[in-house]
Structure 1
């Protein structure tokens, strides 16, 4: 794995990042996530989705929902499209469950976005 791009390497190119949120307690982290994404030089405008661009998704739900077989099918379907999963994490959830289902930490998500943007930029320029 290559190191994360520096601010100088990212500022050379403009990126458009679309952040979509569905109903989840993880939506409470949205302001912090967007704030951190805006710190990436050049990166964030909401536009219509271009399916040729990378798509990352961060599941967040209670443990019972996460362990349901339909969830595994849906995650597998998204991955089969080439979308990148940023896996949920194990912790005590707001509903009281202790287990998998919490959204990844904001820094983990931002680091993965930087990595994917850097890789996508390298592929386009090849």
Structure 2
């Protein structure tokens, strides 16, 4: 099994890139062709990373799925590499998502609406768990 990781800019605050033992893509990579680190996307028919990733993957796991990205996906926004891959995702292939946010955000009524919208696309939710949160609260 081969794994590739797509990260958002905000997610970069939570890990050290050198500690990720697989290929890691971020927004800056969207404009580079992976065949050559110096070859930039220049025109029609050149590979586009979010489309290449969509074609490559058999399954997509979005974990953790924060409130911001959840809202973007549910409302069709495609303003970073991750949301572009998801927007281009082939719906016949599985997409799993693991919501992760503060309990107050999780319990807001709009969150349930957005989660249901993703399920309506055929995406599968991996439910939240109860634990001690970063802020010190305990909850889902």
Q: TM-score range by the shorter chain?
A: 0.3 to 0.5
Point out the structure with max Rg over C-alpha.
Answer: 2
Say which structure, 1 or 2, has more relative contact order (CA 8 Å, 6+ apart): 1
What TM-score does the superposition give when structure 2 sets the normalisation length?
0.42
Structure with bigger strand share is 2
